[in-house]
Chain A
């Protein structure tokens, strides 16, 4: 049995040297001195080392879709506006100023004079026109070209029904003036202008190298950084762009963006001091509650919602009372607060929080008695006669725990038979988009701070709808809102649409995400915000930082020893 003893010893060693509850042993540590997670030695050079997450598929702004892609695209390229790292308020970027017509449909941007690409080639208004038309061209096959549809004529051009670039409402009367005609008033246009799809790309490089233009040996950029090195599945190294319009704005000489997919690995590298910043989503969720005690921990509501979608084309889910019953039988607080230990917020709406002025409709709540009543009204009193339904989710530990909890709520609360079905990613996507499922796990992340970024996905026939649900009244309300010039009126129309959606119940909202990240105390310029957007040029290492408290100096691995006064 020697070897099984070895097993026990190993496991004990793990528990003792344990990861998250480290520092637990330091009983009675002072409330004044902050505790840090792991090493707190700043890097010697002016370099920011952070985990960018999964390997970026591309850094071409027109094609970038995930957060890892987008974050890099926005550091390498700069659009007309840039986001304030604190408030996300758009401010002047490549454009120095702009004006808009009274009806909000005509925008004139005045570019800064003397803008250049990192290879010295001049950059002007025509580059923006060319880049946006490129993103819209069907050949480019951009996933996010829809974000440019606000421009007049862009949608038809994107779909290939109009082929004349002149039909798109863009004009560059001279190299510092860019005139954009919109299809409808877009109150969040300046936010959009900082979004990857709206960034300029170097025509001379793209035309010469084709798909390979983003390789480090070819790429030319206009943003705060240039790409120095890209080692796939390991890291990208960015260096300050000497030809950037305002080089002094960029606080770090160099940025190392690591591509670490495994959450535990990312957290361990952060703990060991190899990373200065572990971006949101890269702490294994069971560990999050234990991270709160550290001063490194940052958390803020993030505009993303986890929900279940119901396939309304399949009986009995075509029955609105069944959908209401399922909705009312989900105890969101037990999931978010008990199971997930408060790392998420229970949520009963499709749109997340944090949209100023949005008169959000009442949230769906947990009411088991009423849920049973609904089910009886649907013709299945006590769940009798209800066929077995299946919850589909892509395999992940978190998804499974939640599915198991919801399964128990529906089975034990409503008395209906529920089975779970997990699939790998590709098969899950195929099943949800072709409506071959009963109930499926989904989540959605907003692109910009406006409820329409969530509500639009539930339009009838939208590629992201994936429930088969379509309601002409809902679509009409959304269209009316899109054409409404008065912001308050517009939000009221959107709220009516959401109320209608919630009452009809094709989606079962479960929780609201929080961003959770770890930031070393010597890192400056990271502020939590609803879009989890942190422009890299604003982040820097404070070499003057000293560990607070009488000990005075920053010691390696001090997090483990605890911060004793």
Chain B
């Protein structure tokens, strides 16, 4: 007889809500008339993400102390709940961005289904507390994203993006799986807590198998978080994928990957802290260097944002490398404005893409700020937020990250971070410069009527999404206390 563990359905509720939403919107492909498919899918998907936010909020409220459920395969705690909220929030915003994307109607139901399922996988991943669920969650959302990247077959580069992501992502998954196998081989344990106790019980902290496994796992997670030197897929995939998908990936994938990295390293490998803090710090420095320097020379806005997301990953890795409560808090806080800024800026790019009907370069943003003040001001605020200017959550996030590094005693990491910030100003302010300070005259010619056939889709929905992102970005600066308190509660389960 097979022993079945007790299943805590409540702990799974964010993922379940999203799975249901995905299923329903997939049914829409056969049951709903073609015309209504797009609004139907978007609505169902939005409700799914909203339900996931509510479920995660309830989980947060009712899980004051963390404990393993389903025989320790997943962890029900506030870290998971807060991360699931950020992921579901990112998904919710992405639906608003997707709603007006001129995509062919053929695959619209699948699109929303996959979006919800990817969200479900990420929400599951952040709760993982064993090597099996870790891999399961990772593949779950990755496979959904592979297809999402390639879903718009008429878009130049979309297929290529999907394929590239599939191959490189597959490589990353393989690394992670191999690393997990080595760790299991060394310790004989699958659950994170048991790995830690096995290491201390058997005095394995210098075991070659274990350390190699750890290194491979960090590499595999680095692929998903797009940390240098595992970043090379990022610019191509971000550029090629449909912009709403890019928006979702940049916000939610990074949240899932980074939160999971924090959880694995802190709960499973506390004895190896001396090794992995340095490894993560090196990854952080590499990401900051590669992301910032490469972003300087980009002309395409999506590529530039892709490199900027690599450098932002570098900042958040500093928080993980600090390996202290302040670092955990910094990471969870930073993810909130970061996701909003990231999705918001890709949303504005999507709007401009639609106007021009071709890829957006920095040049082609000239004068956009005066033509469309709401989008222009929002994009400027997002850029200033990435650069860490006050009155955006990005400032407070960076401040906490540096504070965490300082508390760990790594002033050199603070200096590296500040130098990276200084470099990043050039390209972030370059966008503001293009938006407001360059004349737009010669560009009017390039404008093409959006979407062949039919009236342009209503911009309102996208504007709502951008405004929401703006509110989160600016609001998180003023409402630091409640957000940091939530992040503190979440991070305290680890430290």
Is A bound to B?
no
